[in-house]
Every structure is written in structure tokens, then in C-alpha cells.
Amino acid sequence: MLHPFRSAQHFAITAAPAIMKSAGVDLAGVESRPTGFSVMDEDLSCSACILHNDTEILDHVADAGVSVVAIDAPLALPRGRQSLEVRNNVHLRECDRELLRMKIKFFPLTLGPMRQLTQRGMRLKAALEQRGLQVIETYPGAAQDILGIPRKGKGLDKLSAGLRGAGVSCPDRPMTGDELDAVTCALVGVLYLQGNHLAIGDPDELLMILPKRRA
């Protein structure tokens, strides 16, 4: 019989480390439109698919066993704004102002369809956190700009090639723009888990997570 201390030491040395995984969600403003979903391992190997309703998203996240969920949607309101229904002149969060300083284009969360996306994003974040999951906000367009990857507006082939050039092992099939943006979100999630990220904004409001330059 092994000595108990020796046994404990043996298992401490030989136990396989847990594999970190990230889920990326390119969230649509309404459930009738496609939401891109991706799961990525720490070796940057990923899967991707299209989902629609919140239940599908929650179930896929639960099945994936991820450490973090990175969502492309505003997940918090600006300080000084209690809701989207009560209008005032507060439209930007500190992370949004930082995007402006970085000369990165985006749509303010109070603009037209962004209002629905913000409401859905905040609702989904709450549901995921209630399940004990860590949720971060990211913006794939900004991540692609920082990493020197063409956005989908430049062509899906170019975006796909840019992700592969960054080391991502994508599914061997043509992917939609929603899927490719979800893959980008998942990549940001992996970089976040590795500590290789930027956190911009006011922590009392919300920190947006982006890649470091030359990540």
C-alpha cells in the first residue's frame, strides 16, 4: 500500500491540467435573426455554428464546458442612464470613448437597433452569470482592427484567412460572417484567459475586453 503522502504527491504531479475553453457569441438583436456561436480551445482550435433563441445559446454554452463567454453586444448601460426607455443625453460608456480615441468605428448602444441588442445582451449576461459563468463584453470589429485582420465588410474570405493567419484553426468549410465574428469573440476569450488582453473602460461601469496589439 502506498504511503498517503506519496500518493497525494503522485497525483498532484501527474494530474492533467484542465483545458481552458472560451465561447464566442456574435449576438443578434432579435431571436429571429442568426446569432454566431463558437467554442475555442486554448490551442485556438474552434467550432462554429448558427443559433437563434436564448435557450439554444444557454444550452450550447452549458454543453461546451467553457471558462468564459465573450459576447459581441453591449452588456451594461452608461453611467447616468437608468434604462433605454427613459431618454437623456447620455449615450457613451467610458469603453466607448476609448474606442473613439483608438479611432475604431462602432455603433452607440442607444442608436436604433442597438437598443434591442443591448437589452438582449444584458438579459443573456444575467442568465449566464446566474449559472455561475464568467461573461465578458468584446467587439470583434475592434479585435480584428487591433490584430490587423480585415473585417467582414472587406470580404469573408479575407476575414477567414486573417483568423487562420493569427493561428486559429477554423472549421474546414465556408463560414458566415456571424460565425467568423463569433470565432473572433472566442479568440478574445482565450486571450483573456491567458492574460493577453486589454481591458478598456471604467470598472465601475464595464470593462470591454480586446486583444493586446501583436497578441
Range among 72-86, 103-117, 137-151 with highest mean pLDDT value: 137-151
- Over residues 164-174, the pLDDT tens digits come to 999 999 999 99
DSSP 59-99: HHHHHHT-SEEEESS--SPPTT---SSS--S----HHHHHH
Q: Which residues pair with 197 in a beta bridge?
A: 211
Q: Which domains are delineated in the chain?
A: 20-211 (3.30.420.10)
What's the pLDDT score for residue 5? 35
Predicted TM-score (pTM) of this structure: 0.88
- Over residues 102-139, the pLDDT tens digits come to 999 888 887 788 889 999 999 999 999 999 999 999 99
